[in-house]
Amino acid sequence: MPEGHSIHRLARQFQDVFVGRRLHVSSPQGRFTEGAALLDGHVLVEALAHGKQLFLAFDHGLYLHVHLGLYGAWSFGGDSSFTGASSIGAPRRIGERESGPAGGDAEYSGPPEPVGAVRVRLVSDHGWADLRGATTCAVVTSDEAAKVLDRLGPDPLRNLPGDRDEFIRRLRKRKTAVALLMMDQSVLAGVGNIYRAEVLFRQAVDPWTPGAAVDVETAGRLWDDAVSTMSDGVSDGRIVTTPPALWTEGAPMVSDADAHFVYKRHGLPCRACGTIVGMAEIGARKLYWCPGCQV
């Protein structure tokens, strides 16, 4: 599932290429025809990401709410003024590379014929965006959008005043394993399996530690590292949590194998202690950790 940095990159791309423009909204697949009709012909005024939720606000007070889930993705295209990635979302290989760039068509004359099950198509005078495979795709009011946001924990990529303290409070009031709490969207919005595994390792926190047993200082470090690593993901478009010293020398860019400390590295030596990285099930999810480091 795309993690929070990908959703914030989506919001930034929509902000750059669609906000302020009147959009034609349709549902080539036909499963979102009524919702598309409610948005068609209106101006997009804001794109907001919180955790894994994306909200596109229109000038008449309605929002397009999208949660990509495991299989959702947006694809983009347009003329030479339409900049950004050509695809953001799932499925992803390790590293979550995006396709790009989206624009550059000097003879752009409109969007191509839809390919596959396009749930929503947004078209401006300069480009288009197609949504496929999303778990949630709905038109909501501002009150309904607020209710969704109220259910979520703080987002490290928004990092609003008080968010750090609120995360610490939510984490430490639960006896659930910290590895599960780091992916509980009501505790911490936007973190998925990769950031969870990597932040816990980087901060030397045993994933089976109960949240209530994590001291305030350590909880604060978890928040700060999530802010740092996820911000890098927004900038780079992929998740890289290792320092350049661990990358293959001479390579033009960090490889998928070098990008992480423990995620998807089970069966390989730990970069810190040499113990074989393990994989376990926790809450029906795969957990990558080092038995030697106990993190």
Residue-wise pLDDT for 29-62, tens only, equals 999 999 999 999 999 999 999 999 999 999 999 9
Tokens for 193, please give them: 């399996």
Average pLDDT over every residue of 210-236: 96
Considering 3, 96, 98, 198, which one is annotated as catalytic? 3
Lowest mean pLDDT among 20-24, 98-102, 148-152: 98-102
pLDDT confidence of residue 94: 36
CA dihedral over 36, 37, 42, 48, signed as positive or negative: negative
Is 52 a catalytic site residue?
yes
pLDDT at 129 over 90: yes
What confidence tier does 241 reach under pLDDT thresholds 50, 70, 90?
very high
Average pLDDT over every residue of 231-251: 87
pLDDT confidence of residue 142: 97
Q: What is d(CA 17, CA 11) in angstroms, rounded to the nearest whole number?
A: 10
Lowest mean pLDDT among 26-35, 61-70, 232-241: 232-241
Average pLDDT over every residue of 21-30: 97
Is 286 a catalytic site residue?
no
Considering 147, 173, 175, 285, which one is annotated as catalytic? 285
At residue 64, φ and ψ (nearest 5 deg) are: -95, 115
Is 198 a catalytic site residue?
no
Considering 9, 28, 52, 156, which one is annotated as catalytic? 52
Cα 293-294-295 angle, rounded to 5 deg: 90
* Average pLDDT of the residues of the chain: 91
Average pLDDT over every residue of 153-161: 97
pLDDT at 203 over 60: yes
pLDDT confidence of residue 131: 97
Give the H or E element holding residue 137. Answer: strand 136-140
pLDDT confidence of residue 81: 82
